[in-house]
Amino acid sequence: MKIKFYGTRGSTPVCDRDFLEFGGNTTSIKITQDDGRICICDAGSGIRNLGRDLLNDGLQQPELFICFTHFHWDHIQGFPFFAPAYNPNMIINIHALGKDREITNLEGIFEGQMKAEYFPVPLESMGATFNFLQLDQTVLKIHDAEFRVIKQNHPGGSYGYRVEDNEKSVVICTDIEHGNSVLPEIVEFCKNADLLVHEAQYTSEELESHRGWGHSSYDQAIEVAEKAGVKKLAITHHDPEHNDTFLAKIERECQKRYPSCVLARENMEIIL
């Protein structure tokens, strides 16, 4: 299984020469299963480059799955620019897995952001066949991989994903607020994962002034990794105010405590 980051920024994209190393696009992650088939997690602005790369690599897969942690702007804003969605021979399954989702109309979320007031091409004119799958369940088999979800603490709701394929596992926990201590159910969900992708938008000091915003600190991400015994930790969802110099410094500090930790960069690929 391979994990490739196409967007590592939280809240809003940034475009500046001080943000080139870690990247300025918002969340989108490509998951390549052992059989070569591809799934995608979230459709932030990074999915534009992801789609371009799929076409440049000669995408043969006629059906794609895009799973969503939640539907805040920075996790859906790239969808109208996802090139494979304009292919009339493509089937795209958009799924929201998990019990007690607060959304009631999955298709309406994507139709809404592509209304004429906001975008020139409506959803129904993109070309691909879309299946909108809001599933009131916590486990789903996609190809040969098992996808499991857990509800997280975040305004409007969000869900962490655990993907298991051929005895390898990756957990994606983005847009999660733990509170004063890390949530034990999240630690259990991450237990012994080969890779934990965990957000950390704030330092511990910044977190104190952002309570209720739905995010975590670097210390909390590391604490989850430590308690869960994961093999590797990749920290993502970087704050738009944190430039390359700041993030490189944070990464060095994190690695002193947890050596198998990296801060995710755009186009970084991790092979499990």
Give the CATH number for residue 48: 3.60.15.10
Three-class SS state of 83: helix
Domain count for the chain, please give it: 1
CA 139 to chain centre: 18
Cβ-Cβ contacts under 8 Å for 232 (sequence gap 6 or more): 194, 195, 196, 260, 261, 262, 270
Tell me the percentage of the chain whose pLDDT exceeds 90: 97
Q: Which residue has the tokens 């920024």?
A: 9
pLDDT digits (tens, 9 = 90+) for 217-238: 999 999 999 999 999 999 999 9
Q: What is the pTM of this model?
A: 0.97
Residue 185: the pLDDT is 98
What is the domain range of residue 44? 2-271
Distance CA 213, CA 65 (A): 29
DSSP lists the bridge partners of residue 28 as 7
Q: Quick one: pLDDT band at residue 19, thresholds 50, 70, 90?
A: very high
User: 106-150 pLDDT, tens per residue?
Assistant: 999 999 999 999 999 999 999 999 999 999 999 999 988 999 999
Mean pLDDT of the chain: 97
Quote the pLDDT of residue 102: 86
